[in-house]
Amino acid sequence: MPSSLPAQPLRIALLQSSGRPGSVATNLKVLDEAAGRAAAAGAGLLVCPEMFLTGYAIGRDEVHRLAEAADGEGADAVADIAVRHGLAIHYGYPERDGDAVFNSAQLIDATGTRRANYRKTHLFGGFEQEVFTAGEQPVVQAELDGLKLGLMICYDVEFPENVRAHALAGTDLLLVPTAQMHPFEFVAESLVPVRAFESQMYIAYVNRTGPEGEGAAGDAAFEFVGLSCLASPDGATRVRAGRGEELVLGEVDAALLHASRETNPYLRDRRPGLYGSLS
């Protein structure tokens, strides 16, 4: 194994929860409780779903009202939780920057330091395209415990170019908070493990769960399907949540990562000179 990779696996916790949409205070309490459980189980990193801090299907006005800067009060509260429990936290939230609001995710380490902030580059559907401004930086990374972490959000992972860009930049573990809904369960079940295999990395895909928001007919606007998972570079699903509220734990093993990269020739056998016409 290369000396740059850690000798011990990183245990990570995936928090599959929608919390309470519209209530930042309640969601911080949910996060605090989950961080305590994750730390007690030996996790060094807790990954939360897309827009966890505020809720996803809360409407344009509420998203814009609750949006805050990357170093705002919500970030301070998450940092406090990270320090008290001694683990890094990756969470989704609406980020305000001037007049623009982004669908963002931020990584805060166990010292309370903000390590990386990512703005979703591919906005899904009319709701997101109306509410958010698209980000323009496709590859955002941070080092944690000897691993190179990459940040992405939901729909972004469905574009193979995005994940391959992370592979070429050396990402070992790709964090993907998501708000993935019915009837697209195949993304969690099939697509994510394939992405991990074809680009030779771990992918932590962490979803919301249950109905959220109100549709035009009075039914739920979205039905989030859970199925959060940790997929590994050998194409296996190391851990998989069910459909409800759940905290699941898995390990990112640098030895497995190295062995898989040695065996799988995809990245070595690429012929970039042939691909120019595809872009």
- Does 50 participate in catalysis according to the annotation? yes
Whose structure tokens read 């939360």? 48
Catalytic hit among 48, 68, 95, 120: 120
Catalytic residue among 48, 50, 148, 212: 50
CB-based contact 216:25 (threshold 8 Å): no
d(CA 100, CA 72): 15
The CA distance from 233 to 254, in Å, is 10
154 as an active site residue: the answer is yes
Q: What does the alpha-carbon distance between residue 209 and residue 228 come to, in Å, rounded to a whole number?
A: 9
Query: Which entry of 154, 158, 212, 229 is annotated as an active-site residue?
Result: 154
Is the Cβ–Cβ distance between 52 and 93 less than 8 Å? yes
> Dihedral angle at the C-alpha atoms of 156, 161, 164, 170, nearest 10 degrees?
-70
Distance CA 167, CA 164 (A): 5
CB 174 within 8 A of CB 45: no
Instruction: Report the phi/psi class of residue 270: left, alpha or beta, with left for phi > 0 and alpha for psi in -120 to 50.
Output: beta
Which residue bears the tokens 């559907």? 125
Helical ranges in 41-142 per DSSP H: 60-66, 73-85, 125-131
Reported in sequence order, the residue ranges of the chain that DSSP labels E, i.e. its strands, are 10-16, 45-47, 88-97, 100-108, 114-119, 140-144, 147-151, 173-177, 202-206, 209-214, 220-225, 229-231, 237-240, 246-252
Is 120 catalytic? The answer is yes
Write phi, then psi, for 242 (nearest 5 degrees).
-85, -140
Active site residues: 50, 120, 154
